[in-house]
Amino acid sequence: MTDTAPDLDRLRAGAPPRNHDARTIAALTANPGCARRGLLDAAGIDKDAVARHLGFGTPFGQSQFAITRGNAFEAQVKADGCAELLALLRDRLGLDVGEVGYDDLDEEGGREFRHARTRKLLARALDDANGTLFDHPLLRLDIGGTPAYLEPDVIAFQLGGRFHVVEIKSFAVVDGQAEPEQVAAAARQAAVYVLALRELVADLGHDPQRVSHEVFLVCPENFSNRPSATPLDVRPQLAVLRRQLDRLTRVDAILDDLPPDLSFALDDGLGAAVRTVEARYAPDCAAGCELAYFCRDEARACGATGALGRGVRDDLGGVDTVAAALDLARGAADPPELAETAALLRTAARLRAEALGGAT
């Protein structure tokens, strides 16, 4: 138990901690500067339940059609001991995959049993280099002092003594190109598996670099069911993920500034409790945070510059509200620490006035 565990338990007001999965862990990297999200995630609070209680529920999650299509494509790629996947890696990527060993860890039993069997098989593979494909490994990753079990639909693939994560997604690759946002999301999710696999390898006494930063992304090609494979370097995503997870273990700095009796119980005081913790809203929060609509309403109400987008907020570094930015542009305020920003805003205001004057 960490030093902050009792405080985080109090914040949940008796509710069990929400279990993370690779998708929610990957989403932690989307807005690392948000204290509100960092604290709620560290405490394992169900943000979706909080948002719905506050009247700002969001329709998160994949559609049933997308889930069904994804499951069918994954089953096709993994059929007959991953025969199609192996052919793909050999023929399309030219990998020198010799005799293949295949272990499916998707067996009955509790999480601890499955994780222990994953650990045992990977330990054997690390020692004698036997074993090529490990399907449905159950990995574990510490999130703010709480273990999260990851049940990937990916496979640990050993080649030349190094493991690679294979990420299977059902979005299409058309003429060699896929939707950049979907590829980025897949890379973040794969990075979670790489990190968890590296921690397991290190815990077994081996070099964590035996888990490659290069993952293989498998997707349907040109809207058909024919799979394609693409190597993907996830080192940038790994770096961001490590920073954010380290930050979750330092929530004590956030807790020090909060009332000692604060909790996020689902009652009439929930809205005030949530507002006690500072948020860092940006419009793209809507793509990955259940509280995005609540924070957007709050940001608009107080005229926060973040409501205009991360680019505007970053350009106005240190200016938190639209009203403050307008005061700087008009010369109504001139703090020395914002002299450069004030000069830029006044130039922009002058250019705007000249442009409008020319138009009239």
What does the block give as tokens for 30? Answer: 């989307």
Its domain, for residue 343, covers 303-359
The least confident of 176-190, 228-242, 269-283, 346-360 is 346-360
pLDDT at 64 over 80: no
Please indicate, yes or no, whether residues 245 and 320 belong to a single structural domain of this protein.
no
Give the residue, 347 or 62, on which the prediction is more confident: 347
CB 60 within 8 A of CB 48: yes
From the CB of residue 340, how many other CB atoms can be counted at a distance below 10 Å? 10
Q: What digits encode the pLDDT tens for the residues 198-209?
A: 999 999 999 999
Q: What is the average pLDDT value for the chain, to the nearest integer?
A: 86
Give the residue, 15 or 63, on which the prediction is more confident: 15
Q: Provide the pLDDT for residue 360.
A: 46
Please indicate, yes or no, whether residues 250 and 201 belong to a single structural domain of this protein.
yes
5 within a domain of the structure (yes/no): no
Please indicate, yes or no, whether residues 245 and 191 belong to a single structural domain of this protein.
yes
Q: Provide the pLDDT for residue 217.
A: 94
Dist CA 216 CA 230 (whole Å): 6
Report the DSSP pairing between strands 227-233 and 214-220.
antiparallel
Q: Provide the pLDDT for residue 249.
A: 60
If 0-12 CB within 10 Å is exposed, 13-18 middle and 19+ buried, where does residue 118 land? buried
- If pLDDT is split at 50, 70 and 90, which confidence band does 334 have? confident
Rounded to an integer, the average pLDDT of 19-47 is 80
30 within a domain of the structure (yes/no): yes
63 within a domain of the structure (yes/no): yes
- If pLDDT is split at 50, 70 and 90, which confidence band does 273 have? very high
Please indicate, yes or no, whether residues 350 and 209 belong to a single structural domain of this protein.
no
- Its pTM surpasses 0.95: no
115 within a domain of the structure (yes/no): yes
Dist CA 57 CA 293 (whole Å): 8
230 within a domain of the structure (yes/no): yes
What does the block give as tokens for 195? Answer: 């990190």
Q: Provide the pLDDT for residue 293.
A: 93
293 within a domain of the structure (yes/no): no
Q: What digits encode the pLDDT tens for the residues 73-82?
A: 999 999 998 9
Q: Provide the pLDDT for residue 333.
A: 82
- If pLDDT is split at 50, 70 and 90, which confidence band does 222 have? confident
Q: What digits encode the pLDDT tens for the residues 41-59?
A: 888 899 999 999 999 987 6
Q: Provide the pLDDT for residue 42.
A: 80
Q: What digits encode the pLDDT tens for the residues 119-174?
A: 999 999 999 878 889 998 999 988 766 678 888 877 889 988 899 999 999 899 98
